[in-house]
Amino acid sequence: MRAVPALDVIAVDVAILGSGAAGLMATRHAVAAGPGLRVALVSKGLVGRSGCSIMALGINAALGADDSPAIHFEDIIRGGAFLSDQGLAAVLSDDSPSVIRELSDDLGCAFDRTADGTVRLSPFAGQSRDRKVSHGHMTGLEIVNRLRDDLLRSRPIELADHRALDLLVDDDGVCGVVVLDARRGRPLLLATPVVVLAMGGSAAASYRVATPAREKSGDGLAMALRAGLPLRDMEMVQFLSVGLAAGGSKVTGVLLEESLRFAGATLLDGHGERFMLQHDPERAERAPRDVVAAAAYATIRDGLGTEDGAVLLDCRPIGRATLDERFGDIVARIRLTGIDPATEPVPIAPAAHIGIGGVVIGEHGETELPGLLAAGEDAGGVHGASWTGGNGIAESTVFGRRAGRRAAELARERGPARPSTTAADEVIARVWAPLADAPAGPAPWALADELRDLAWDHVGLRRDDAELRAARYQIGTIRAAAATIRVAGDAAANLAWQEVLDLDSRLTTMEAVVTAALARTESRGVHIRRDHPARDDASWLRTVVVRGQPGSLSPTTVPLTFARLAPDADRAGDT
């Protein structure tokens, strides 16, 4: 281990971890609700330029004359196969109209308008009413840009390229967060009575084919587990049906548009057969996203895909003119891999996109640990067993706002924190351990690739007990190998070291997914068990909660309550 630089300590009233839509919204509202509070905004990458919020296509809100929060709520509950926390789902549907007003009228977001100047509402898969608010294809970017510009008014302490390492806890709850300035290689202790976890945590980024941004290794969820917090619904990992498959290239997993399937593209297996005709003869390629993703996954896993483990999206039926006119951005993305979609089929695979599960929260983002709040993808419970497009950044903004307001209240109630620097030193010693004068052990990226492969193969869209057990075992093996990694260089700007730290979080979040997936012996939403293929409402109107220390996580189940809408046994389509 290399010498650790002296620990810097900064006392703040609120520390917000993550600079996506949830973290930026929390910052804005913590400052607004608590003028004079010292708020720190910690971002693993550049502020407002990390994570996945900027890539969101649209944001749902019940604003139409034929719509209401109650209808939006019902779409969430039925789409999520009744696994949602209904209180949280109601918060999402109730609050999102006023979030849209705020984003538009206060922050200036240029949402698309109709001819009469009102906000345009578009259809989105899984929504029974037109409620997608967008700004072209750049909705998330526009929202995050405006929220980032709001920092010019709210003026938090911005800590870019700072990686959150661990929460510090005393008898009164959270009392600090240990942070690494990854650019300069210096440890920092934020002494704070309130922390908002908004780091976009999920295991989705740890799949071979995956859409999320680089930062998303699940650090927030791993921190939460180490602090003893429960995670719910971790088995629910949402895949999209059409991710680019380009072998080891970084563009693998980059999203193409689901709507290509509805515009006439067909899906072919490795032999040129339209496999959707087997899986869903009536709707074929026009089947819902989850059906197509599962069918493509099964085709690949059965060895019926291409030699490279993909299936083919044949866009030729759409024709070059329409492709260029309607899907110009997507054509450009495909062409990065040297393929012209107008003349040849495009290798694709289902891509892991979002982790539905996360920290158990209440309606204001509060967790079991006093002073700790969670919002956005780090939190669980809103989407149930399947997420629908447009509800992701809605969740981030709605719960980010609530968590920010609650954070300001809590900061006043709880008063200044006095964390022990000894506890911080222990965290720092653990984190600094892999830094050495010479490299040793396996390369961190090789182990990360191993994890991505095993996740895609065994923890994907067709699971069974044996494969999940194999996955759990292999995660343990990789964890043991990871403990032997030593990377050279000093602590500043050391990407190999950062990869080691990422790997640790990835292993923990994937272990949580496997633990929960083993426990849920039924199929529901995106959790598909080959050995338990049916949804089992008699036994499984329960949520799986995982907790424990990395390497020994364990599941319990908690019965769901249905305060507003109960599953009706005779209703078709609740699968």
Active site residues: 289
Question: What's the CA gap between 4 and 23, in Å, rounded?
Answer: 29
Taking the least distance from each CB to another protein, the nearer of 250 and 571 is: 250
Q: How far is CA 113 from CA 57, 60, 93, in A?
A: 16, 15, 21
Stretch that binds another protein, among 195-203, 247-255, 260-268, 372-380 (CB under 8 A): 247-255
Q: How far is CA 262 from CA 313, 319, 372, in A?
A: 12, 14, 44
506-565: which residues touch another protein (CB under 8 A)? Answer: none
Question: What's the CA gap between 133 and 37, in Å, rounded?
Answer: 33
**Site membership for another protein, residue 353 (CB under 8 A):** no
Q: Which of 1, 429, 440, 495 binds another protein (CB under 8 A)?
A: 495
Q: How far is CA 33 from CA 30, 104, 402, 550, in A?
A: 5, 20, 11, 36
**Site membership for another protein, residue 135 (CB under 8 A):** yes
Stretch that binds another protein, among 73-81, 420-428, 439-447, 505-513 (CB under 8 A): 439-447
Q: Which of 487, 516, 528, 553 binds another protein (CB under 8 A)?
A: 487
Taking the least distance from each CB to another protein, the nearer of 248 and 272 is: 248
DSSP of 160-228, one letter per residue? TTEEEEEEEEETTEEEEEEEEETTTTEEEEEE-S-EEE-S---SGGGSSSB-S-TT-S-HHHHHHHHTT
Within 13 Å of residue 20, how many CA atoms lie on the same side as its CB? 30
Stretch that binds another protein, among 135-143, 377-385, 548-556, 564-572 (CB under 8 A): 135-143
Q: To the nearest whole angstrom, how small is the minimum distance from the Cβ of residue 344 to another protein?
A: 15
Q: To the nearest whole angstrom, how small is the minimum distance from the Cβ of residue 140 to another protein?
A: 8
Question: What's the CA gap between 90 and 84, in Å, rounded?
Answer: 10
Q: Give the dihedral sign, CA 119/124/126/128.
A: positive
Question: What's the CA gap between 91 and 104, in Å, rounded?
Answer: 20
443-482: which residues touch another protein (CB under 8 A)? Answer: 443, 445
Tokens of 32: 């607004």
Q: To the nearest whole angstrom, how small is the minimum distance from the Cβ of residue 114 to another protein?
A: 8
Stretch that binds another protein, among 187-195, 290-298, 335-343, 502-510 (CB under 8 A): 335-343
282-321: which residues touch another protein (CB under 8 A)? Answer: none
Taking the least distance from each CB to another protein, the nearer of 56 and 459 is: 56
Q: Which of 363, 522, 536, 574 binds another protein (CB under 8 A)?
A: 363
Please work out, in degrees rounded to the nearest 5, the angle formed at the alpha carbon of residue 214 by the alpha carbons of 210 and 220: 95
Taking the least distance from each CB to another protein, the nearer of 250 and 271 is: 250
Q: To the nearest whole angstrom, how small is the minimum distance from the Cβ of residue 143 to another protein?
A: 12
Q: How many CB atoms lie within 10 A of CB 369?
A: 19
Strands 554-559 and 266-268, sheet pairing:
unpaired
Question: What's the CA gap between 129 and 390, in Å, rounded?
Answer: 13
Tell me the number of residues near another protein by CB under 8 A.
Answer: 83
Q: To the nearest whole angstrom, how small is the minimum distance from the Cβ of residue 214 to another protein?
A: 5
Q: Which of 75, 166, 181, 215 binds another protein (CB under 8 A)?
A: 215
Taking the least distance from each CB to another protein, the nearer of 254 and 312 is: 254
Q: To the nearest whole angstrom, how small is the minimum distance from the Cβ of residue 520 to another protein?
A: 31
Question: What's the CA gap between 39 and 20, in Å, rounded?
Answer: 16
Q: Are 154 and 172 in contact (CB under 8 A)?
A: no
**Site membership for another protein, residue 278 (CB under 8 A):** no
Taking the least distance from each CB to another protein, the nearer of 36 and 117 is: 117
Q: To the nearest whole angstrom, how small is the minimum distance from the Cβ of residue 526 to another protein?
A: 22
84-113: which residues touch another protein (CB under 8 A)? Answer: 91, 94-98, 100-108, 110-111, 113
The string over 51-71, giving b where at least 16 C-beta atoms fall within 10 Å of a residue's C-beta and e elsewhere, is bbbbbbbbbbbbbeeebbbeb
DSSP of 265-290, one letter per residue? -EEE-TTS--THHHH-TTTGGGS-HH
Q: How far is CA 121 from CA 105, 124, 258, in A?
A: 17, 9, 19
Q: To the nearest whole angstrom, how small is the minimum distance from the Cβ of residue 100 to another protein?
A: 6
**Site membership for another protein, residue 324 (CB under 8 A):** no
Q: To the nearest whole angstrom, how small is the minimum distance from the Cβ of residue 530 to another protein?
A: 31
138-167: which residues touch another protein (CB under 8 A)? Answer: 138, 140-142, 145-146, 149-150, 152-153
Taking the least distance from each CB to another protein, the nearer of 302 and 325 is: 325
Q: Are 354 and 213 in contact (CB under 8 A)?
A: no
Please work out, in degrees rounded to the nearest 5, the angle formed at the alpha carbon of residue 306 by the alpha carbons of 304 and 311: 80
Q: Which of 22, 213, 361, 410 binds another protein (CB under 8 A)?
A: 213
Q: Torsions phi, psi of 29, nearest 5? A: -85, -25
Taking the least distance from each CB to another protein, the nearer of 343 and 422 is: 343
Question: What's the CA gap between 140 and 379, in Å, rounded?
Answer: 19
Taking the least distance from each CB to another protein, the nearer of 180 and 236 is: 180
Which contacts of 536-543 are long-range, i.e. CB under 8 A and separated by 24 or more positions? 537/82, 537/567, 537/569, 541/82, 541/567, 543/83, 543/85, 543/232, 543/233, 543/381
248-267: which residues touch another protein (CB under 8 A)? Answer: 248-251, 253-255
Taking the least distance from each CB to another protein, the nearer of 117 and 573 is: 117
Q: To the nearest whole angstrom, how small is the minimum distance from the Cβ of residue 33 to another protein?
A: 6
397-436: which residues touch another protein (CB under 8 A)? Answer: 402, 405
19-78: which residues touch another protein (CB under 8 A)? Answer: 28-29, 32-33, 45-46, 49-52, 54-55, 63, 69
Taking the least distance from each CB to another protein, the nearer of 275 and 399 is: 399
Cα–chain center distance at 428: 27
Q: How many CB atoms lie within 10 A of CB 280?
A: 17
Q: How many CB atoms lie within 10 A of CB 551?
A: 12
**Site membership for another protein, residue 489 (CB under 8 A):** yes
Q: To the nearest whole angstrom, how small is the minimum distance from the Cβ of residue 397 to another protein?
A: 12
